[in-house]
Amino acid sequence: MVETVTAVCRVLLRGSSFPSVVRTTTGRRFVMKLSAAGPGRRALATEYVALRLAHSLSLNVPDVAVLHLPSDLPWLAGTDEFYEAVQRSAGLNLGIRLIPDAVDLKAADLASMPGQFASRLGGIDALLQNVDRTAANPNVVRDRSGAHWAIDFGACLLIDRLARGVVEPRLGLPPNHFLSGSAWPMHSIRELAAAIEEEHLAATVSELPEAWLEELALPREKLLSRLRAYLESIRAT
């Protein structure tokens, strides 16, 4: 479902894609990442697929949506540079459901993560080939209830590798991943691959905007077939 942005509430301080908190016509709030800033539509497609698959594998991640950004949205927050990026990004952008009052985990907090969450996070990051989850920048937040959430999947290499025609698994965590070599056993990647349902995989790919796929230079059916081949190669290992 596509939601329309009605207001930019505030611009966040980090991120090359000018992430900002926005409100939509439904009244829901999202962190919006812009299509014409940072790594562009390729990263939006990557993060959309990664979050949808991670959610289907029972990892605690925020909901994701496609956001329509009107070209005449009033300038309510941010700098001239931000507003110029907003104007260039008119159309379809990425929305990640805002987790209210969430705080970023620091390196000193990582040992307190629930083991089940850490184990599943490690397996899913290996499956998606996520290279951006370090002790200095874990991309894990904790909400007001104490629940942990994994965020920021835009640096997963899986979609980029599939776009280049590489479907062979590369399943280890990178050495700089904060779970690499940790005391938590990583969840079985083969079990995770087997748990992804064909119907969910096809629906996820069908939801990607055409403009995002054009930047990948990868037709929708070819992306789906390569995702299937990648998962099948893991299941057969």
* DSSP state for residue 49 in the 8-state scheme: H
CB burial of residue 5 (10 Å; 0-12, 13-18, 19+)? buried
Q: Which of 29, 51, 89 is nearest to 208 (CA)?
A: 51
Q: What is the pTM of this model?
A: 0.94
Helix (H, G, I), strand (E, B) or coil at 18: coil
| Residue-level pLDDT, tens digit, the chain, 237 residues | 799 999 988 888 766 678 989 999 999 999 999 999 888 899 999 999 999 999 999 999 999 999 999 988 877 776 778 888 888 889 999 999 999 999 999 999 999 999 999 999 999 999 999 999 999 999 999 999 999 999 999 999 999 999 999 999 888 899 999 999 888 889 999 999 999 999 999 999 999 999 999 998 999 999 999 999 999 999 997
Q: Which of 123, 221, 200 is nearest to 169 (CA)?
A: 123
Question: Residue type at 137?
Answer: N
Domain count of the fold of the chain: 2
Domain that holds residue 228: 103-235
Decide which of 57, 80, 97 is a domain's last residue: 97
Decide which of 97, 124, 152 is a domain's last residue: 97
The answer to whether residues 72 and 145 belong to one domain is: no
Q: In this structure, are residues 140 and 149 in contact, taking their beta carbons and an 8 Å threshold?
A: yes
- For residues 140 and 156, what is the distance between their CA atoms, to the nearest angstrom? 15
